[in-house]
């Protein structure tokens, strides 16, 4: 006697994998589990590899590859937004549109292939005008999908948000206040945050990956210099910069100089004027003149007192609004599929290149053989999205992301 268990029997095809399945629910002792596994293995059972059950469900045609990937995303989702993106993908929306277009392309490709059999006779079964229109239609669809990727990816993986500013501006205090915990070291000694700290802040169900950085100034030593260099690296990869301005003593000129140094193409900037309690007491600078003197077009301004917590709600709203344009907010709230998988986007890019080559072939009146080759390539890449076309390597890389037992 090892344990008293519950056996659940799922008869084919009414199981996740469409096969006969027995599930054993036992008590959660690692001794019991190991003992039972030993016995089952002695009786000829095999241990499942990562994702083995979802792979079987895919092979049995119960789900598309993109849906299987959505299962992995669902398991990994930690916020409402990530869950929602995975759920929409699981419902199959992602690949349906592509599969339909691919089917239409298959019909044309078959005609082009047929022409090759009659190459001596110089016939064209596939109407080049209609084919060209279809190729454009698919390319446009791919472009549209690619344009939603940034949003889907941000919802799935979180939005990289970097806190930067001069030493002692209050970055660490602000981070702790936002997270409502003592995560970063707060100290009146400048230059104490030397490494970067990353924490997730959830605003309205979306993950913002807040990264606290070393203060920007002339480094006092080598370690601090490395920290400052890291700050610049982090800002380079960020979507949002929260520049923390020290309302107690910083000048508008310093702010303008730092923004100039940190800015890059896709960066959204929020200037957090912290220590507003001290700013109010200053004779040299007021909130109004600060904005005028520092300039910074397209920058959002928020005033906080990190110590008392004043302005924090406004800051969270500003972060959220900076990340999402009204159109993006609508997309988040809507039910359309948001593409968020890098593998899909890469496959679509490859398909787009092949489609462009096919268009070029038609335009320059190249032989049908080259056109057929480009179409085959495009069909291959389009097919890998939902898994109509799959190779062992592809399946291996998709399912190895799963955990054992899924
Ligand atoms: P960091 O170097 O930018 O991370 O700055 P810290 O968060 O370590 O803060 C530096 C000092 O400023 C600490 O003594 C904080 O208590 C203080 N401080 C932070 N926020 C405020 C604020 O809003 N008002 C005032 N008066 N002091 C603050």
Say if ligand 1 is within 6 A of residue 66 CB: no
What is the longest distance spanned by two Cα atoms in the chain? 90
Between the ranges 171-180, 256-265, 270-279, 318-327, where is the mean pLDDT highest?
Answer: 270-279
User: Distance between CA 126 and CA 66 in Å, rounded?
Assistant: 31
Q: Are 34 and 67 in contact (CB under 8 A)?
A: no
The residue contributing the CA closest to ligand 1 atom 26 is 275
Q: Supply the DSSP symbol for 300.
A: E
Q: Is residue 395 scored above 90 in pLDDT? A: no
What per-residue confidence (pLDDT) applies to 244?
95
Q: What is the pLDDT of residues 141-191, one digit of tens each?
A: 999 888 888 888 888 889 999 999 998 999 989 998 998 865 555 555 555
Of all residues in the chain, what percent carry a pLDDT higher than 70?
A: 92
Q: How far is the CA of 177 from the centre of ligand 1 (A)?
A: 11
Q: How far is the CA of 204 from the centre of ligand 1 (A)?
A: 27
- Looking at every residue in the chain, the average pLDDT score rounds to 86
Q: How far is the CA of 171 from the centre of ligand 1 (A)?
A: 7
Residue 15: phi and psi, rounded to 5, are: -145, 170
DSSP string, 248-295: TT--HHHHHHHHHHH--TT-EEEEEEE-HHHHHT-SS--HHHHHHHH-
Q: Is residue 247 scored above 60 in pLDDT? A: yes
Q: How far is the CA of 168 from the centre of ligand 1 (A)?
A: 6
Q: Are 112 and 379 in contact (CB under 8 A)?
A: no
Per-residue pLDDT averaged across 255-281, rounded?
90
Report the residue among 186, 196, 228, 304 best suited for mutation to probe ligand 1: largest number of ligand atoms under 8 A from its CB: 186
Report the residue among 166, 170, 243, 308 best suited for mutation to probe ligand 1: largest number of ligand atoms under 8 A from its CB: 170
What per-residue confidence (pLDDT) applies to 356?
97
Q: Is the preceding peptide bond at 24 cis, omega within 30 degrees of 0?
A: no
Least confident of 55-69, 185-199, 267-281, 306-320: 185-199
Report the residue among 306, 308, 310, 312 best suited for mutation to probe ligand 1: largest number of ligand atoms under 8 A from its CB: 306
Query: pTM for this one?
Result: 0.74
Q: What is the pLDDT of residues 289-322, one digit of tens each?
A: 888 888 767 899 999 999 999 999 999 999 999 9
What per-residue confidence (pLDDT) applies to 391?
77
What per-residue confidence (pLDDT) applies to 220?
64
Q: What is the pLDDT of residues 344-391, one digit of tens each?
A: 999 999 999 999 999 999 998 777 889 999 999 999 999 998 788 877
The residue contributing the CA closest to ligand 1 atom 9 is 170
User: Distance between CA 272 and CA 275 in Å, rounded?
Assistant: 9
What per-residue confidence (pLDDT) applies to 226?
75
Q: What is the pLDDT of residues 250-260, one digit of tens each?
A: 999 999 988 98
Report the residue among 164, 166, 167, 168 best suited for mutation to probe ligand 1: largest number of ligand atoms under 8 A from its CB: 168
Residue among 155, 17, 18, 158 nearest 89 (CA): 155
Neighbours of 15 (CB within 10 A): 20
103 vs 335, more confident: 103
What per-residue confidence (pLDDT) applies to 10?
96
Neighbours of 222 (CB within 10 A): 8
Say if ligand 1 is within 6 A of residue 130 CB: no
What per-residue confidence (pLDDT) applies to 192?
53
Q: How far is the CA of 220 from the centre of ligand 1 (A)?
A: 20
Residues facing 158 on adjacent strands: none
Q: How far is the CA of 294 from the centre of ligand 1 (A)?
A: 21
Least confident of 25-29, 213-217, 316-320, 363-367: 213-217
The residue contributing the CA closest to ligand 1 atom 8 is 186
What per-residue confidence (pLDDT) applies to 403?
73
DSSP string, 193-261: --S-EEEEEEETTEEEEEEE-PPPSS-SSHHHHHHHHHHHHHHHT-SEEEEEEETTT--HHHHHHHHHH
Tokens coding 129: 């005008």
User: Distance between CA 285 and CA 302 in Å, rounded?
Assistant: 16
What per-residue confidence (pLDDT) applies to 351?
96
Q: Is residue 83 scored above 60 in pLDDT? A: yes
Q: How far is the CA of 182 from the centre of ligand 1 (A)?
A: 13
Q: Is residue 194 scored above 60 in pLDDT? A: no
Say if ligand 1 is within 6 A of residue 113 CB: no
Q: What is the pLDDT of residues 112-143, one digit of tens each?
A: 888 888 777 777 777 889 999 999 999 999 99
Say if ligand 1 is within 6 A of residue 186 CB: yes
Say if ligand 1 is within 6 A of residue 277 CB: yes
383 vs 397, more confident: 383
Tokens coding 296: 């910074």
The residue contributing the CA closest to ligand 1 atom 13 is 188
Q: Is the preceding peptide bond at 179 cis, omega within 30 degrees of 0?
A: no
Q: Is residue 197 scored above 70 in pLDDT? A: yes
Q: Is residue 227 scored above 80 in pLDDT? A: no
Say if ligand 1 is within 6 A of residue 89 CB: no
Least confident of 151-155, 179-183, 274-278, 279-283: 179-183
Say if ligand 1 is within 6 A of residue 17 CB: no
Say if ligand 1 is within 6 A of residue 278 CB: yes
User: Distance between CA 355 and CA 351 in Å, rounded?
Assistant: 6
């Amino acid at each position: 006697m090892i344990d008293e268990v519950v056996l659940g029997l799922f008869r084919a095809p009414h199981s996740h994998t469409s096969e006969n399945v027995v599930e054993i629910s036992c008590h959660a002792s690692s001794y019991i589990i190991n003992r039972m596994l030993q016995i089952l293995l002695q009786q000829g059972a095999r241990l499942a590899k990562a994702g083995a059950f979802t792979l079987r469900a895919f092979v049995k045609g119960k789900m598309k590859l993109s849906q299987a990937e959505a299962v992995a995303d669902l398991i990994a989702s930690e916020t409402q937004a990530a869950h929602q993106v995975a759920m929409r993908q699981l419902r199959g929306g992602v690949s349906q549109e592509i599969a339909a277009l691919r089917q239409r392309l298959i019909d044309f490709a078959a005609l082009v292939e047929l022409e090759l059999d009659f190459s001596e006779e110089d016939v064209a079964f596939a109407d080049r005008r209609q084919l060209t229109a279809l190729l454009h239609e698919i390319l446009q669809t791919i472009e549209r999908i690619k344009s939603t990727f940034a949003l889907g990816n941000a919802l799935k993986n979180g939005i990289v948000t970097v806190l930067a500013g001069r030493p002692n501006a209050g970055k660490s205090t602000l981070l702790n206040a936002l997270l409502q915990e003592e995560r970063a070291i707060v100290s009146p000694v400048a230059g104490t945050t030397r490494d970067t700290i990353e924490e997730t802040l959830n605003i309205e169900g979306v993950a913002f990956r807040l990264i606290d950085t070393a203060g920007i100034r002339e480094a006092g030593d080598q370690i601090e210099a490395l920290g400052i260099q890291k700050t610049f690296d982090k800002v380079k990869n960020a979507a949002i910069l929260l520049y923390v301005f020290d309302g107690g003593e910083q000048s508008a000129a310093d702010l303008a100089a730092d923004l100039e140094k940190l800015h890059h193409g896709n960066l959204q900037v929020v200037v957090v004027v912290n220590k507003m309690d001290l700013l109010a007491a200053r004779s040299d600078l007021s909130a109004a003149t600060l904005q005028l003197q520092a300039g910074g077009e397209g920058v959002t301004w928020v005033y906080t007192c990190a110590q008392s917590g004043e302005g924090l709600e406004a800051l969270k709203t500003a972060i959220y609004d900076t990340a999402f344009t009204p159109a993006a907010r609508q997309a988040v709230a809507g039910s359309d599929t948001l593409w968020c998988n890098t593998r899909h986007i890469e496959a679509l890019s490859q398909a787009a290149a092949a489609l462009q080559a096919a268009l070029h072939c038609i335009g320059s009146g190249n032989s049908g053989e080259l056109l057929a080759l480009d179409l085959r390539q495009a069909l291959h890449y389009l097919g890998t999205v939902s898994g109509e076309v799959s190779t062992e390597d592809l399946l291996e890389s998709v399912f190895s992301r799963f955990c054992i037992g899924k």
